[in-house]
Structure 1
Amino acid sequence: MDFLMKNTRIIFGIAVFLCMMPSVTGQEKQARYTNGSELTVLGISGAGDPVSFHRVDSANLNGLPSTVKKLAKNPAGAAILFRTDSRFIKVKWRLENYKIWWNMSPLTVNGTDLYGWNGKSWQYVASARPSDAENETVVIRNMDGKMRHYMMYLPLYSTLKSIAVGIENGATIQKADPEFLPEHRIAIYGSSITQGASASRPGMAYPSVIGRALNAEVYNFGFSGSGKMEPGAADFLKKSDADVYILDCVPNPSPEEIRSRTVPFVKRLRKAQPDTPLVMVESVFREHGHWDLETGKRVRAQNRAFHDAYKQLINSGEKNLYYIRGDELTGSDHEATSDGTHLSDIGHHRMAQHLIPVIKKLLRTGK
């Protein structure tokens, strides 16, 4: 009897849940789709491919490790910008693989985020729930049908095979008006934290937070575990032609690699961008490094090596070079990570707020 009652409760609970789920209307089933690459694509620089949404095109990856080549296909930080008067917005997207990572939400890895312009700023609207390699879902419904601009962030850690935005029949969807195109370009090269680990959703990665705050197009060159300042990485960074470059790449290379690679990497980048402001950012301190003495020792050694390289560059005559210590990047309460290393939404927000005033000043003055 207990077994029967228990299963009856489970079945009842499932039925209630299914009843609560909104059904797809006839209009939504007949949505008219537009390929995302035919709209305004942000976050893909001259080094990448806005049709495939690859952050770095394969032609610009010669000599780089296989992991970098693989991660370069992830559209981290890229977004589709468009205007529509549809009363609902759907999205249909296909992934190379549906991935599950223990320290990130499926939404972060595989899903999309929708923001809308509220007249003053970009406001979060809703997220598209991923469930498999092929997905189709209503992101938002029951809107008033006024013409507005929207921005849809793409998955941070999965490769897209295709993506399309769906609207109601009779509605309009177009590329963004010129006035909505970002005024500035920022290129950020770094590690998994730069790529977006472990924000709860794509729009919360700190490079994207910075982009919305400063009306800037941000090129996210974060490569999980693989931002190690190889010479080829400096070459594709040069092709982004940014107004500000940020190096947030200390967490991945060893102290020895930082000592040997930082100065040549910056010099190589400077050949094409001699006057562009360049910001060097230390590694955030790994929380378990306060308890694991070897980890703490390594992070301190990484940051020392990076600061030594900064001083060497300054002494060699480099200009427009700026340095940010890692001590206060994410606060001092030890509550800014999801797993002791990668940042939660709080951590990404705090890091963005720490960097925004510095970048804002550089974009305004140019130096």
Structure 2
Amino acid sequence: MKNYISLMLFMFQAASASFAQDSLALKFVDGHELKLSGRAFNSNQNYHRLDSSDRKLLIPRVKELATNSAGLSISFTTDAKTISLQWRLARWLDQWNMTPLAVNGLDLYGLKDGKWSYVASARPTGLNNSAVLVKNLDGQMRDYRLYLPLYTEISEVGVGVPTNATINKSAPPANQKRVVIYGSSITQGASASRPGMAYPSIMARSQNIEVINLGFSGSGTMETEIVDVLAKIPADVYILDCVANPSPQMIKDRAYGFVKKLRTLRPNTPIIMVESIFRETGNWDSQIGARTTQQNMEFRNAYQRAMGDSDKNLHYIFSKDLIGNDHEATIDGTHLTDVGFMRLAEAIGEEVKKVIGK
């Protein structure tokens, strides 16, 4: 009840300015009352990616990043002709190589003619935000999906529609597959232009699967504790996209044991190991280039060693062609633009299709 009252007060305060410009009466629905996807636990207290009991097992930086809402989405059906949004951030974050929209904002997709299509973005301006996302819709009952911020913690969100409109929680898709991805900042979403353009979310839309994004910026270093967290999440496939952060020596020391422990805990679930993209800065900085090559080599060695144990459900994706060869897929030589994410989603998505039999 306390959280509900807090949300209602927040919505009233944040709405007053925007509603003065629009006489349309709106009703707001708490995001927790709609369908929340992208995490494996239920809670109406937060929009964290991992439960508090799991977070306490992890190193401090991962524990903090797990409160970011990367990969989480809210799905609903409505016949509204206008969709508004109000949200509150626990903290505002600026990233020099990311847009404020991707870090602190949200974007909306709609299902039209059987395909998810971009609808609108919600511009963030501070800790308390409100926006009219879209007007003049056709009033047909449709499915919508709202992607939450990639790199900060969102504490409250409400979806607003006219009082005469219907809004309901989306029905769960029948027999939907689930993919869990563990990785680094690229997995988390750096540097997509908006939340829905992180590659795990692109894959989820294109294949109609649920993807749980466990990318931890700068901190995907294969600690053994994270394996226990991954294995607790039921999945049809696990993807290990975690080469970019650990040093070559760390990969040599940790990767094989990481894979073997996950296999022990999940003996029948496919695992896909993904090499690091080749950092564009490595085309010019020979030290960076050599480091990335060595990282991938150590990861490949771990894969070959695991395959020597007759693991028939282990798969591997090489770095070649993951983001193309035109050197135009990054924003800063490391992190991806939307072009890079589309290419990466396609490359990894093709292997996912083969593995889960799509």
TM-score normalised to structure 2 length = 0.92
Q: Aligned letter for 1:33?
A: F
Over residues 60-82 of structure 1, what are the superposed CA-to-partner deviations in whole Å (9 max), with x where a residue is unaligned? 12342111011000110110000
Structure 2: any 5+ residue segments left out of the alignment?
Answer: 1-17
Match of 1:140 among 134, 146, 167: 134
Q: Which residue of 2 aligns with 1:16?
A: none
Whether 2:192 is the aligned partner of 1:192: answer no
Q: Which residue of 2 aligns with 1:247?
A: 240
Over residues 113-168 of structure 1, what are the superposed CA-to-partner deviations in whole Å (9 max), with x where a residue is unaligned? 10001031111101111111110111111112111110000000010111111110
- Determine the C-alpha separation between the residues in 1 that align with 2:168 and 2:144: 11
Q: Which runs of 4+ in 1 moved over 6 A?
A: none
Q: Which residue of 2 aligns with 1:167?
A: 161
Whether 2:68 is the aligned partner of 1:39: answer no
Q: Which residue of 1 aligns with 2:291?
A: 298
Q: Which residue of 1 aligns with 2:23?
A: 26
Q: Which residue of 1 aligns with 2:85?
A: 91
- Determine the C-alpha separation between the residues in 1 that align with 2:277 and 2:300: 14
Are the aligned partners of 1:49 and 1:56 in contact in 2 as well (CA < 8 Å)?
no
Q: Aligned letter for 1:26?
A: S
- Determine the C-alpha separation between the residues in 2 that align with 1:198 and 1:248: 16
- Determine the C-alpha separation between the residues in 2 that align with 1:182 and 1:22: 41
Deviation at 1:270, TM superposition (A): 1.5
- Determine the C-alpha separation between the residues in 2 that align with 1:315 and 1:44: 33
Whether 2:279 is the aligned partner of 1:282: answer no
- Determine the C-alpha separation between the residues in 2 that align with 1:187 and 1:364: 16
- After superposition, the Cα gap between the structure-2 partners of 1:346 and 1:40, relative to the gap in structure 1 and judged at 3 Å, is same
Deviation at 1:22, TM superposition (A): 12
Q: Secondary structure at the match of 1:32?
A: strand
Q: Aligned letter for 1:353?
A: E
Over residues 255-284 of structure 1, what are the superposed CA-to-partner deviations in whole Å (9 max), with x where a residue is unaligned? 111011111111221222111111000000
Match of 2:350 among 350, 357, 361: 357
Q: Which residue of 1 aligns with 2:76?
A: 82
Match of 1:226 among 219, 231, 234: 219
Deviation at 1:182, TM superposition (A): 6.8
Range moving further from structure 2, 193-202 or 91-100:
91-100
Are the aligned partners of 1:41 and 1:50 in contact in 2 as well (CA < 8 Å)?
no
Q: Which residue of 2 aligns with 1:206?
A: 199
- Determine the C-alpha separation between the residues in 1 that align with 2:148 and 2:306: 36
Range moving further from structure 2, 187-196 or 56-65:
56-65
Q: Which residue of 2 aligns with 1:11?
A: none
Structure 1: any 5+ residue segments left out of the alignment?
Answer: 1-20
Q: Secondary structure at the match of 1:26?
A: coil
Match of 2:61 among 63, 67, 80: 67
Deviation at 1:232, TM superposition (A): 1.4
Q: Which residue of 2 aligns with 1:8?
A: none
Are the aligned partners of 1:275 and 1:319 in contact in 2 as well (CA < 8 Å)?
no
- Determine the C-alpha separation between the residues in 2 that align with 1:219 and 1:235: 15
Q: Secondary structure at the match of 1:213?
A: helix
- After superposition, the Cα gap between the structure-2 partners of 1:182 and 1:139, relative to the gap in structure 1 and judged at 3 Å, is farther
Q: Aligned letter for 1:104?
A: M
Whether 2:283 is the aligned partner of 1:269: answer no
- Determine the C-alpha separation between the residues in 1 that align with 2:270 and 2:296: 20
Are the aligned partners of 1:49 and 1:55 in contact in 2 as well (CA < 8 Å)?
no
Are the aligned partners of 1:182 and 1:215 in contact in 2 as well (CA < 8 Å)?
no
Are the aligned partners of 1:193 and 1:342 in contact in 2 as well (CA < 8 Å)?
yes
TM-score normalised to structure 1 length = 0.90
Whether 2:328 is the aligned partner of 1:335: answer yes
- After superposition, the Cα gap between the structure-2 partners of 1:157 and 1:181, relative to the gap in structure 1 and judged at 3 Å, is farther
Q: Aligned letter for 1:97?
A: R
- After superposition, the Cα gap between the structure-2 partners of 1:50 and 1:223, relative to the gap in structure 1 and judged at 3 Å, is farther
Q: Aligned letter for 1:195?
A: Q
Deviation at 1:50, TM superposition (A): 6.1
Q: Secondary structure at the match of 1:25?
A: coil
- Determine the C-alpha separation between the residues in 2 that align with 1:182 and 1:336: 34
Number of residue pairs aligned between Structure 1 and Structure 2: 341
- Determine the C-alpha separation between the residues in 1 that align with 2:19 and 2:332: 34
Match of 1:152 among 146, 149, 155: 146
Deviation at 1:318, TM superposition (A): 1.9
Whether 2:119 is the aligned partner of 1:117: answer no
Please report the RMSD computed on the Cα atoms of aligned residues, expressed in angstroms.
Answer: 1.6
Over residues 198-247 of structure 1, what are the superposed CA-to-partner deviations in whole Å (9 max), with x where a residue is unaligned? 01000110100000011000000000000011111111111221101100
- Determine the C-alpha separation between the residues in 1 that align with 2:213 and 2:349: 15
Match of 1:238 among 206, 218, 231: 231
- Determine the C-alpha separation between the residues in 1 that align with 2:273 and 2:117: 30
**Which of the two has higher C-alpha Rg?**
1
